[in-house]
Amino acid sequence: MIGILVLTHEDLGDYMIRCASHVVGMKPPQLLYLECFSSG
C-alpha cells in the first residue's frame, strides 16, 4: 500500500485528480480528495 498526502491551494487538488483520471482512463477506486478550508 502506498499513501500520498498532497496539500494544495484552492481547487488544485481536484484538478490534479481529474488530470490523473484522464491519463489513466478512469478514477482509481482508492483515490480520495478532501476539501479543507481555513477560517482566517
pLDDT value at residue 39: 78
The answer to whether residue 19 is domain-embedded is: yes
Q: What is the DSSP letter of 26?
A: S
pLDDT tens digits, one per residue of 1-40: 678 888 887 888 888 888 888 998 998 888 888 887 777 6
Answer whether residue 6 is part of any domain.
Answer: yes
Identify the pLDDT of residue 5: 83
Q: Is residue 7 part of a domain?
A: yes
Confidence (pLDDT) at 40 = 67
Distance CA 25, CA 4 (A): 20
Whether 3 is in a domain gets the answer: yes
User: How far apart are the C-alpha atoms of 40 and 30, rounded to whole Å?
Assistant: 31
Note the pLDDT of residue 9: 78
Domain count, the chain: 1
Q: Which pLDDT does position 25 carry in this prediction?
A: 93
Quick one: cell of 25? Answer: 482512463
pLDDT at 2: 78
Does the residue 35 lie in any domain? no
- Residue 10: domain span: 1-27
> What distance in Å separates the CA atoms of residue 4 and residue 12, rounded to the nearest whole number?
15
Q: Is residue 40 part of a domain?
A: no
pLDDT value, residue 26: 92
Q: Is residue 33 part of a domain?
A: no
Q: Alpha-carbon distance 14 to 8, whole Å? A: 9
